[in-house]
């Protein structure tokens, strides 16, 4: 399984992808030990048809906590988030959860773009621009999560 420590954003996206894969192809749950374990977790947590594993929710909470710390403490980071805000607000408005966090919105955006690529559908230049900004933001957060600076609290599980 991908490691949360290596890249927390990719870890979340990977878990979401595996959840969708097991929902689409439940017979594949025995194809590997990893898929079997994820399938068992999905059954235990009651998310066989929809929802996300607690592993993904916990990782999302961790990266959101780091995002909030940086937003409050780092002017350059805050400016990057503010530049992305109008696009994130549009994305959120199109969902059934318009109050979701900015980080969750970035992850959903990247996940949806991945699905569009798998379907061989094109994305608009505007969407590609937002994708680039969201990717940069999540890469930065993942790097900080992986190697926190001495001024930031050490992430649990490191």
Per residue in 76-135, pLDDT (tens digit) is: 999 999 999 999 999 999 999 999 999 999 999 999 999 999 999 999 999 999 999 999
pLDDT above 80 for 151? no
In whole angstroms, what is the distance from residue 63 CA to residue 55 CA?
A: 13
* Residue 19 sits in the same domain as residue 79: no
Q: Looking at the structure, tell me whether residues 63 and 91 fall in a common domain.
A: yes
Residues 34 and 60 in one domain: no
Report d(CA 134, CA 33) in Å as an integer. Answer: 33
Taking the model in full, what pTM does it have?
Answer: 0.90
- Shared domain for 96 and 19, answered yes or no, is no
- Dist. CA 141–CA 148, nearest whole Å: 10
pLDDT of residue 153 exceeding 80, the answer is no
């Amino acid at each position: 399984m991908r490691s949360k420590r290596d890249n927390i954003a990719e870890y979340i996206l990977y878990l979401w992808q595996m959840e969708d894969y097991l929902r689409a192809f439940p017979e594949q749950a025995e194809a590997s030990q990893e898929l079997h374990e994820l399938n068992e977790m999905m059954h235990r947590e009651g998310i066989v048809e929809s929802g996300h594993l607690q592993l993904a929710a916990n990782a999302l909470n961790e990266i959101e906590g780091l995002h909030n710390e940086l937003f409050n403490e780092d002017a350059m980071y805050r400016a990057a988030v503010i530049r992305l805000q109008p696009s994130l607000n549009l994305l959120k408005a199109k969902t059934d959860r318009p109050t979701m966090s900015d980080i969750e919105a970035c992850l959903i955006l990247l996940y949806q773009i991945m699905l569009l690529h798998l379907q061989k559908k094109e994305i608009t230049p505007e969407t590609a621009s937002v994708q680039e900004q969201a990717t940069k933001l999540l890469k930065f957060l993942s790097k900080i999560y992986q190697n926190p600076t001495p001024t930031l609290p050490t992430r649990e599980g490191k």
